[in-house]
């Protein structure tokens, strides 16, 4: 099956056709670094990390660019609130973002441009738009893009420009020619950080930053542009308008957007008190549980963050790790040896169908069932299947932990491993002494504290629920 992906621009799945054979140039909108990353950011990070890992596993030469917005109204306002320079704030938040990514197993992009490092590119693009009358300088020194000059405005978000005009709010004393026009360059207020420009000191608008950075890193037309669910309008719509007006070429061939994260079926919002940073979530859940939870739904589907769904994700991972427990020494097989594997072919078919991780995981679950069956009668075959499973898991960035450590890992206040092992020994002694009531009581007491005992001919093992 050929690689197909859903293109937000055409609102349908399309067979992927690269600009250059064998290569994929992809840009994903990154974080505005004024605060810690939240679980919605994690959705985008993990989704495009898995997409990149999969594409490379299939032989594609991928250049993955994900930007950092390090100058913005939110950043400047937060720096003032904190009484620190905006560069100190952004450096601190970038370090925190990388810590969160590392914890979640998200690989770094090939290029991670910062807006402040591309000011010349931004100024050049704004100047081209002004020179070609796609932009104008307002009386206060701001530079605005003329939406009326771009008849295709709205093609990504499927919005009618005239409807936008009807719904636009006109402010008293508005200096824009048209209320729909958006800022390319903002003149600096007294004491505000600024850069010199032909229109006076100021700083770039948010939208122009991504156009300049993406074109600088990937060229005037590139293959894939991705981002979060809130970006098609206005951010990506504005990127298209300013980029295509500046270059005269199609900006991007395929647009991809991750689905929204809801919390207990409500929109995540600080005002609702249901806003969770990645580091808050990781205090309670193993990073692989969070990553697995985010992979368990198709990247375009909305996903509901809830205790119930995180517990379900933990249970799903435990099924994998329980199967791997006797085979911790087995290494993943090379992918090019799996051409005859039905499980791997199902995995690839699912991923080639717009990166359907949910269906790919279903193939892996069936493989686990086969491993458990073979482990009872054919150790050699079971180990071969484990090597296949680990190869697929490597593409998803999961099953990296030691099975024993994952299954026995506990949280603050839980019984530690030494205490549990002592109770298992006490239970074994009770059974030898035919004190079955005490043996049963120990099992029940441990279960009440989230510890499951599993008896076999080889002895008793344990894991946490």
d(CA 187, CA 382) in angstroms, rounded, equals 66
Phi/psi at 6 (5° precision) = -80, 125
pLDDT in tens, 376-391: 999 999 999 999 999 9
Q: Are the C-beta atoms of 290 and 104 separated by less than 8 Å?
A: yes
* Residue 405, pLDDT score: 87
Is there a contact between 71 and 204 (Cβ–Cβ < 8 Å)?
A: yes
Tell me what the mean pLDDT of segment 144-171 comes to. Answer: 83
Residue whose structure tokens are 């279960």: 447
DSSP 139: T
In the prediction, which pLDDT does 174 show? 78
Identify the burial level of 18 via C-beta atoms within 10 angstroms of its C-beta, where 0-12 means exposed, 13-18 middle and 19 or more buried. middle
pLDDT in tens, 193-242: 999 999 999 999 999 999 999 999 999 999 999 999 999 999 999 999 99
Cβ atoms of residues 239 and 25 within 8 Å: no
- 126: which residues sit within 8 A by CB, 6+ positions away? 135, 143, 184, 185, 197, 204, 208
Instruction: Report strand pairing: 143-145 vs 182-187.
Output: antiparallel
Assign 72 a pLDDT band (cuts: 50, 70, 90).
very high
d(CA 462, CA 351): 35
Q: What is the mean pLDDT of residues 342-359?
A: 98
pLDDT of residue 450: 80
With bands split at pLDDT 50, 70 and 90, how would you rate the model's confidence at 165?
low
Mean pLDDT to the nearest integer, 290-295? 97
What pLDDT does 411 receive? 60
Q: Which secondary-structure segment (H or E) carries 373?
A: helix 357-374
**Residues 326, 305: Cα–Cα separation, whole Å:** 32
Cβ(313)–Cβ(281) below 8 Å:
no
pTM score: 0.90
pLDDT at 245: 98
Give the C-alpha separation, 288 to 290, whole Å: 5
pLDDT at 15 over 80: yes
Mean pLDDT of 126-152: 97
> Among candidates 209, 148, 207, which has minimal Cα distance to 176?
148
Tell me: pLDDT of 66 over 60.
yes
- Average pLDDT of the residues in 111-131: 98
Q: What does the block give as tokens for 207?
A: 């939208």
| Cα distance between the two ends of the chain | 39
CA 103 to chain centre: 13
pLDDT digits (tens, 9 = 90+) for 431-442: 888 988 988 898
CA dihedral 423, 425, 427, 431 (to 10 degrees): -170
Rounded distance between C-alpha atoms, residue 246 and residue 253, angstroms: 17
Examine the pLDDT at 14 and tell me if it is beyond 60: yes
Per the prediction, the chain carries an average pLDDT of: 93
pLDDT band at 104 (very low <50, low <70, confident <90, very high): very high
pLDDT band at 62 (very low <50, low <70, confident <90, very high): very high
């Amino acid at each position: 099956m050929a690689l197909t992906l859903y293109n937000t621009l055409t609102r349908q799945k399309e067979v992927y056709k690269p600009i250059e054979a064998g290569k994929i140039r992809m840009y994903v909108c990154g974080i505005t670094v004024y605060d810690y990353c939240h679980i919605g950011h994690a959705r985008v990070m993990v989704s495009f990390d898995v997409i990149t890992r999969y594409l490379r596993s299939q032989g594609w030469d991928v250049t993955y660019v994900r930007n950092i917005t390090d100058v913005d109204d939110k950043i400047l306002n937060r720096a003032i609130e904190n009484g620190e320079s905006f560069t100190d704030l952004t450096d601190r938040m970038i370090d925190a973002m990388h810590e969160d990514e590392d914890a979640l197993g998200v690989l770094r992009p090939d290029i991670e441009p910062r807006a402040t490092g591309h000011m010349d590119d931004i100024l050049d693009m704004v100047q081209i738009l002004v020179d070609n009358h796609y932009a104008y300088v307002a009386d206060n020194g701001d530079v605005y893009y003329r939406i009326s000059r771009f008849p295709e405005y709205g093609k990504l978000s499927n919005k009618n420009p005239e409807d936008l005009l009807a719904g636009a709010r006109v402010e008293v004393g508005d200096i824009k020619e048209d209320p729909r026009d958006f800022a390319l360059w903002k003149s600096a207020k007294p004491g505000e950080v600024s850069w010199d420009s032909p229109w006076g000191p100021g700083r770039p608008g948010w939208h122009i930053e991504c156009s300049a950075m993406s074109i600088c890193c990937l060229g005037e037309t590139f293959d894939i542009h991705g981002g979060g669910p809130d970006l098609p309008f206005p951010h990506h719509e504005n990127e298209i308008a300013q980029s295509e007006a500046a270059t005269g070429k199609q900006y991007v061939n395929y647009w991809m957007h991750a689905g929204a994260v809801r919390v207990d079926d409500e929109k995540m919002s600080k005002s609702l008190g249901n806003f969770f940073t990645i580091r808050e979530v990781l205090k309670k859940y193993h990073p692989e549980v969070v990553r697995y939870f985010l992979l368990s739904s198709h990247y375009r589907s909305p996903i509901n963050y809830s205790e119930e769904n995180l517990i379900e994700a933990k249970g799903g991972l435990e099924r994998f790790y329980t199967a791997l427990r006797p085979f911790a020494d087995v290494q993943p097989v090379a992918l090019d040896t799996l051409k005859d594997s039905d499980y791997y072919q199902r995995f690839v078919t699912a991923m080639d169908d717009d990166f359907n991780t949910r269906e790919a995981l279903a193939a892996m679950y069936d493989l686990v069932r086969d491993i458990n069956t073979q482990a009872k009668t054919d150790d050699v075959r079971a180990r071969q299947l484990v090597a296949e499973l680990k190869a697929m898991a490597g593409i998803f960035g999961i099953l990296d932990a030691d099975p024993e450590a994952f299954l026995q890992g506990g949280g603050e206040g839980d019984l530690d491993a030494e205490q549990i092992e002592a109770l298992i020994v006490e239970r074994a002694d009770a059974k030898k002494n035919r004190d079955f009531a005490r043996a049963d009581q120990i099992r029940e007491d441990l279960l009440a504290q989230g510890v499951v005992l599993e008896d076999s001919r080889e002895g008793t093992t344990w894991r946490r629920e």
